[in-house]
Structure 1
Amino acid sequence: MTEALREPTFLVLTALADQPQHGYGVMEDVRRISEGRVRLRAGTLYAVLDRLREEGLVEVDREEVVQSRLRRYYRITGLGAQRLAEEVTRLRSNATAASARLRRSGFAIEGGPA
């Protein structure tokens, strides 16, 4: 059984599942995906990306120079997509179990019957 992904890691992989992006694009996409709850700082993002590269879950797609600065684009690998899919399944299963127990206890679930 694989270890649960931390939320920033999950969100970075989610952002890259759509298309290759550079660092700032990933930070903005994570903010959008999380509806503003998660705001990655550059240091945190690049630490996550470095770790994901070491694990083979993301790779550099391409590099370009913009206004004399190097812009590196990252993309999710097949292994990264598989790991993200496993995490989605794990989270969905946990959420289903929690929702069922809350409903049985008489608590209303947002988007579902009480």
Structure 2
Amino acid sequence: MREPTFLVLTALAEEPRHGYAVIEDVAAMTGGRVRLRAGTLYAALDRLRAEGLIEVDREEIVQSRLRRYYRLTGAGEQSLATETARLRSQATIAEGRLRARRPELGGAPA
């Protein structure tokens, strides 16, 4: 799973959000490192809907414009959980290897 997909699913895991709220949440989660562009986000939302990972929660009109809220589906929740476990496993391996190299991290001298 690519990082932007992971971050969009993570943003929707907390509560249904509209597109701009997803963009803001992704920026906040990453400390501004990842800034999704609207075109990129909406293409990803369309793809995630087609894959059955998200669905439209509701729509409302705000200042004469349609605002669509998205939420995770059960399949989206499972996909996010699987990717989270995979990333956690890889991080654990990396931490172990760093500790082995660096005595200040609790490992043997390099």
Q: How big is the alpha-carbon RMSD for the aligned residues of Structure 1 and Structure 2?
A: 1.3
Q: Aligned ranges for residues 58-69 of structure 1 at < 5 Å?
A: 58-69=54-65
Q: Distance in 2 between matches of 1:33 and 1:39?
A: 10
Q: Aligned ranges for residues 16-95 of structure 1 at < 5 Å?
A: 16-95=12-91
* TM-score w.r.t. length of structure 1: 0.89
* Bigger helix share: 2
* TM-score w.r.t. length of structure 2: 0.93
Runs of 5+ consecutive residues of structure 2 not aligned to the other structure: none
Task: Answer whether contact 1:102 1:108 (CA < 8 A) is retained.
Answer: no
Runs of 5+ consecutive residues of structure 1 not aligned to the other structure: none
Bigger Rg, structure 1 or 2: 2
Q: Give deviations 1:8-51, integer Å, cap 9, x for gaps.
A: 00000000000000000000000011111000000000011011
Q: Distance in 2 between matches of 1:54 and 1:34?
A: 26
Q: Distance in 2 between matches of 1:108 and 1:82?
A: 37
